Structure formats: C-alpha cells, structure tokens
Amino acid sequence: MRKNIVAGNWKMNTTVPEGVKLASEVNAALEGITPKCDVVIGVPFTHLTAVKAVIGEKLGLSAENCADKAKGAYTGEVSAAMVASTGATYVILGHSERRQYYGETAATLKDKVALALENGLCPIFCIGEVLEERENGTYFDVIKAQIVESLFDLSAEDFGKIVLAYEPVWAIGTGKTATADQAQEIHAFIRGLIAEKYGNQVADDTTILYGGSCKPSNAKELFEKPDVDGGLIGGAALDAASFMGIVTAF
C-alpha cells in the first residue's frame, strides 16, 4: 500500500541544541494528533543521535546524504551503516544541491542507493529539472534519465523500498512553487515509467513526494492530486508550526 509522507529536509541549518529543540517541538506536536501521513525529519549527520534521543515512534528520522563507499579511508565521509546505527531509517539521496554543488552523478547515486538499501535505510531519492530544462521542454527526458540511470537496475523488490521526491530545481527555496497541476503531470509521468518497468502494482505502491517551496498555504492543493503522496519540505520544516501545518494538510 502506498504511504503518504511529509518529510523535512533541514539542509545545513541549526546547531545541535537548536536542532534538538526543533525536533522536540515537532515531536510534541505530533503526540497530540493522529496524522494521516508518516512524518519524517531529515537532519544533519551531527544531529542524528541527539535528535533520535528526543523523538518518539511517531516521528521518523532521516539523514540528508550518505557515502558511496561502505567503509574505509574516505576522510570526512559518513557511511550508510553509520547512519543506520543512529536509529535513522531514511536517507535523502540525490538532492539537487548535492548534484549541483558536490558533483553527484547518476553513477555515484546508484552506489549510494545500493548501500542505503543494504543497510536497511529507505532512500528518499530526489529528481527534478532546472529552469532551462523546464522552459525548453526537455524536462520529461531529464527526469526519466535521472530515474533510469540510478534506479532501474534495482530488482522490483528493492525498488519497492524507495521513496521518490520530485523537486523542480526552479521551485526550491525560491518561493515559486510548481502548481498542483504541474506536480501532478510529472508525478503521473514518473508513475507511468515505474509501471512500464516494474508493473502496475509496484507503481501504485510507490510514494512520490513533491518538493519545492511547499508550505501550509499550498500543501493541501498539492496533496489533493492523485499522484502526489506528500512533500519534502525545506524552509518550512525549520519552524515546527509551519511544518505541522503541512503535516495536517492531509
């Protein structure tokens, strides 16, 4: 069964004490309600253990990246096994900021996805086009290539463990959200690609999140679309009330 998920992506924000406070606030807000979606927070590596200690079962924990190597002499890297050992169960992979600023390629991401799965982590795999690709109409091809190159060598069983996040790069942190119809168009396209490759059941069961300037005021309209199964939330996840405003949009 397809799950609805609202996941926060804190990016490189908050110190550990600030992050623990924010996580505690989200956790406390969740205690009082029964959300119609799974709720996850994606936090910096440094925060994982401390945040895990202050959250309950209702709040999932994610890293924002992991290494493309299992272990060894890779100074400064953090492995999927290390992430899993903190109690985190998700990892955001292929975020456009990682692709753009840190040169992550389809091949690197394929290795990261494999290691995440081997270590029992659920990858939240991000895809999305830049403005130029939106404007010149190549965005379907771009998104297809991102999915095919990093994910379509997986078995159907492994593919079924992945969450996708469509994040048009022109909508990230810009305040310029894709319209609900634009999101639905791409989400339906992605689900169609999955159906062609893995069959209707796997496609139906895959959670596809939307990300890019999602906020309480536009979340409901986005989440009402049949193929939009939740959101990956950047800026609005840094305030417990606005994040919860998105969670309760379901």
Binding site for ligand PGA (CB under 6 A): 9, 167, 172-173, 211-214, 232-236
As a whole number of angstroms, the distance between CA 52 and CA 23 comes to 9
Least distance from ligand PGA to the Cβ atom of residue 233, Å: 5
What distance lies between CA 179 and its chain's CA centroid? 19
By beta-carbon proximity to ligand PGA, the closer residue of 86 and 128 is 128
List 64, 95, 97, 133, catalytic entry: 95
Reported as type and span, the H/E element at residue 142 is helix 139-151
Crossing angle of helices 139-151 and 180-198, rounded to 10° = 40
Closest approach of Cβ 10 to ligand PGA, in Å?
10
Span between the terminal Cα atoms of the chain, in Å: 17
Taking the CA of residue 140 as centre, how many other CA atoms within 13 Å lie in the half-sphere pointing to its CB?
Answer: 9
Q: Give me the least distance between CB of 56 and ligand PGA, in Å please.
A: 24
Report how far residue 79's alpha carbon sits from residue 73's, in angstroms, rounded to the nearest whole number: 11
Minimum CB separation of residue 186 from ligand PGA in Å reads 15
The answer to whether residues 230 and 209 touch, using CB atoms and an 8 Å cutoff, is yes
Find the catalytic residue in 104, 129, 167, 187.
167
Local structure of residue 102 (DSSP, 8 states)? S
Task: Choose among 51, 35, 41: nearest CA to 3.
Answer: 35
Nearest CB to ligand PGA, comparing residues 83 and 172: 172
Closer residue to ligand PGA, CB minimum distance, 228 or 236: 236
Answer whether 92's CB lies under 8 Å from 64's CB.
yes
State yes or no: is 31 an active-site residue. Answer: no
Smallest distance from ligand PGA to CB 114, Å: 23
In terms of CB distance, is 173 or 199 closer to ligand PGA? 173
Q: Which residue is nearest to ligand PGA (CB)?
A: 234
DSSP element (H, E) containing 124: strand 122-127
Nearer to ligand PGA, 32 or 175 (CB): 175
129-141: string of b/e by CB count within 10 Å (b at 16+)? bbeebbeeeebee
Residue 95 among the catalytic residues:
yes
Catalytic site residues? 95, 167
